[in-house]
Structure 1
Amino acid sequence: MSGSVRSGCRTLILALLLLTLGLSAPARAADAAFAQFVASVWPEAQAAGVSRETFERETRGLEPDYKLPDLVLSGRPATGASAQAEFVQVPASYVKEATIARLAADGRRLMQKHRAALDRIESQFGVPATMVLALWGRETDFGRYTSPYDTLRVVATQAYVGRRKAQYRDEFILALKILDEGAVARRDFRSSWAGASGLTQFLPSEYYQHGVDLDGDGRVDIWHSVPDALASAAKQLADKGWQPGLRWAYEVRPPENVDCTLGVPEVRHPLGEWLRAGFAPVERLSPAEQAQPASLLQPEGIYGPSFLTTANYFVIKQYNFSDLYVLFVGHLSDRMVSPAPFATPWSASTQLRTASVEAMQKHLARIGLYTDKIDGKAGMLTRAALGAYQKSAGLKVDCWPSEAVLQSMRAAR
């Protein structure tokens, strides 16, 4: 090998070494900063009852997961939570008839298998067996689905660089406490990207707030014990205001001139009043049911099914804030008793990209029609604000984000 070739090789090797060192330095700095953050949690973990042995064992080698949604990372665009299916799919894709039918059949079989536990749950918490089974079915496909993430890593990452650092600092400490108490082995402590774990998906704080030892073995095990998981889900609903004997919602056929901007939680009337205004219930309502206050819900604006939702609808919404999630769980619960699908089919409407809905929300906020989060999700308040804009702009009022509405807003700007 000639001297010039050897010199060239040495230069190349040196360049590669410098490049490697240059790339790894920020990573080492980030790891050191994360380790410092973890160490800073120890006094609070100790105050919560976590042993030093557990703290050292479980945090040794712990690294952040920067691929999680909902993070705020320096030098990078903020990662959103838009990967959640309920926020990027139209209702027809999320509340799939084939999926509902399969889970309802499974639920009916499981209702017989766990009848004794479900009877106790209904008696103690007032929550129907079908409702807690529906939560289990939606969250983990009746235990067939295993969450992909290590819970401790998730909550530590969210506490370090997430949008809700203070909340997740508490979740991190309580996750350590769960491990310290031996409630679950680390290998089984799997979660969603947001840190929800177990058969019915609880955050660590929810485990301590609502956990129930229904099987009487001396510990709350929401990961392996079906009675414990279902009872804990029922207690969470009860603690958040579940009203026994009250339906979650009623499907209705709206009048042709329906004002879809009324579809917000604040507009509540007795069911009978909605019926007198032209809303036709799919099922006959008793006088007691007609006296119940309800809000209008039109998940696809004036298209697709319409519902009058009771207070229990909003209790389920506290379990998961997505309207489509509540519709899925509520409808699945109903289907375990009745085989009837929604009377009105979902339409074939398409959802705009998240960025387009975000742009709409920003425009609506600028003109004073929208005051909620800018998140690119076409929820209740966004749909109502879109309807108000359509009224003011002389457009067809359907309370649904469409390319035509987006173009109108761009022209107005």
Structure 2
Amino acid sequence: MTFKWAKRHASGRLVFALITLILVALAAAPGKQTARAGQTGEKSNRNEQPSERDFYKWLQNLRNEAKKAGISEKTLDAALGDLAPVRRVVELDRRQPEFTRSFRSYLRRRVTRERIYRGRALLEKHRALLEDIYDQYGVAPRYLIAFWGLETHFGNHMGGFYAVEALATLAYDRRRADFFRAELIHALKIIDQGHVRPRDMTSSWAGAMGHMQFMPSTFNHYALDYTGNGRKDIWGSLPDAFASAANFLSRIGWRPDQNWGRQVRLPKDFNLSLATLDTKKSVEKWKNLGVQAADGTALANADTQASVVLPQGESGPAFLVFDNFRAIMRWNRSVNYAISVGHLADRIVGLPPIFFGPNAADETLSRNQIMEIQQNLNRLGFDAGQADGVAGPRTRAAIRAFQQNHDLAADGYPSAKLLERLRAQ
């Protein structure tokens, strides 16, 4: 999908007036912002009204900051000339999903047969390049193909927004202004260094760029000119894009000697409170606790540190995950995403699908239902944080504490059954 840029010159002020009306109308809308790959969350300041500021005065202030950061007047004129907020960016930033997908549903939509087959073909097509990158950075080819497939469907959907314009819109809207203002300065530095022309710097609505959807700050820390042509081109050069992704993973702790994880079978008496990323044990110790391979065979006597995760609660599949799983979560802080990357990589090289079993529920909860779970947990003295409809680590810890307190299976998983139990308290 492509989007029209905000109109320039006199029409820019008309667009701004429309944006102002939208921001006023949406200012009272509740909802927590979630961070995309490479982003960090930031609390909203709900008492501030972004519509009260003059965008053009704000832009001049931004220009002054950028000049102090060493960015040239030529770049600023080219990148910021007649900039105006983009209404579609505001709409997408404020949009909240009505329902939360189960892990099974999430995986089904991402690790598709088409994506597996295409990933296999592209792995063969680019094998020589990917093997060279593997030799230098230690990230196996199948993982780079999997990231590429999940991030942009192998380059088909890299975003149709002008990155500077999208980031300026989000930086002007004060809910996460500091984060996006910093990303905007990073984007201007990329242009100033000559890596991309302003209007060729396309991105998602949130400013994620190129084949691997790097944020500008990630680009400036990890992007590489693998081809040696003087430009770090993550939009048009697959060698640069693959090498940049491998460099990022390598520098945040990727282990060439490990996989991401594997599906396992838990014993019936397994202590579910151990199924958390906060608990790390050697594979041998997990084996001694009765954890088996998914096919029922014994795990190896290895001293590799691992954690057990249950992305769909006690009735869903269990996974033993290693340090590379944590590296994937540095890319995107979602357990479902991290498993999807690892599993797509496995399927691309012919490993079997995940077994869900007959008891794995595929229910979806609405955002309002999760908010109600959070509200009830807080009412009962289990700190779930702000009731925002997002079942993050704090909410799951509160669920686990409630379950332990009531002698329930402590899987930390939000479900309709849990909601019924909370309502009855």
**SS at the partner of 1:95?**
helix
Which deviates more from structure 2 when the two are superposed, residues 354-363 or residues 308-317? 354-363
Identity across aligned pairs (percent)? 34
Match of 2:303? 291
Return the letter of the residue paired with 1:221: D
* Distance across 2 between alignment mates of 1:298 and 1:345: 14
Conservation of the 8 A alpha-carbon contact between 2:161 and 2:204: yes
Conserved? CA contact 1:261–1:388, under 8 Å: no
Q: Is the CA contact (8 Å cut-off) linking 1:323 and 1:379 kept in structure 2?
A: no
Counterpart residue number, 1:203 = 215
Partner of 1:34: 55
Does residue 414 of structure 2 align to residue 393 of structure 1?
no
Could you list the runs of 5+ residues in structure 2 that have no partner in the other structure?
1-13, 23-49
Residue of structure 2 in register with 1:321 after alignment: 333
Paired with 1:69 and 1:362, the residues of 2 have a C-alpha distance of 28
Moved more, 162-171 or 247-256: 162-171
In 2, Cα distance between the equivalents of 1:136 and 1:271?
30
CA distance in 2, matches of 1:98, 1:173: 33
Give 5+ residue unaligned stretches, structure 1: 1-19, 72-78
Determine if the alignment matches structure 1 residue 131 to structure 2 residue 152: no
The alpha-carbon deviation at position 193 of structure 1 amounts to 2.8
1:293 and 1:384 map into 2 onto residues whose CA distance is 22
5 Å matches for 1:9-408?
Answer: 30=51, 33-65=54-86, 67-68=88-89, 82-83=96-97, 88-96=100-108, 99-282=111-294, 287=300, 290-345=302-357, 347-365=360-378, 367=380, 369-370=382-383, 375-393=388-406, 395=408, 397=410, 399-408=412-421
Deviations 1:20-75 (A, max 9, x none): 9xx9796599496111111111222113332213212322232223554699xxxx
Query: Shift of residue 259 of structure 1?
Result: 3.2
Aligned counterparts of 1:150 and 1:285: Cα–Cα separation in 2: 53
Check whether the contact 1:133–1:333 (CA below 8 A) recurs between aligned residues: yes
- Per mean C-alpha deviation after superposition, the further-off stretch among 269-278 and 56-65 is 56-65
One-letter identity of the residue aligned with 1:294: A
Per the normalisation by structure 1, the TM-score is 0.82
Asked which structure has the greater CA Rg, the reply is: 1
Displacement after TM superposition at 1:390 (Å): 2.6
Deviation at 1:393, TM superposition (A): 3.5
Aligned CA distance change for structure 1 residues 292 and 396 (closer, same or farther; 3 Å): closer
Determine helix, strand or coil for the equivalent of 1:390: helix
RMSD (Å), alpha carbons? 3.1
1:208 Cα deviation (Å)?
0.8
Mapped to 2, the partners of 1:32 and 1:396 lie a distance apart of: 51
Structure 1 contact 351–401 (Cα < 8 Å) conserved = no
Q: Secondary structure, in 3 states, of the residue corresponding to 2:148?
A: helix
| Bigger mean CA deviation after superposition, 336-345 or 199-208 | 336-345
CA gap of 1:291–1:150, structure 2 versus 1, over 3 A, is same
Higher deviation after alignment, 38-47 or 128-137: 38-47
2:281, 2:305 within 8 Å by CA — same for their partners in 1? Answer: yes
Distance, in Å, in 1 between the alignment partners of 2:291 and 2:394 is 21
The TM-score normalised by the length of structure 2 is 0.80
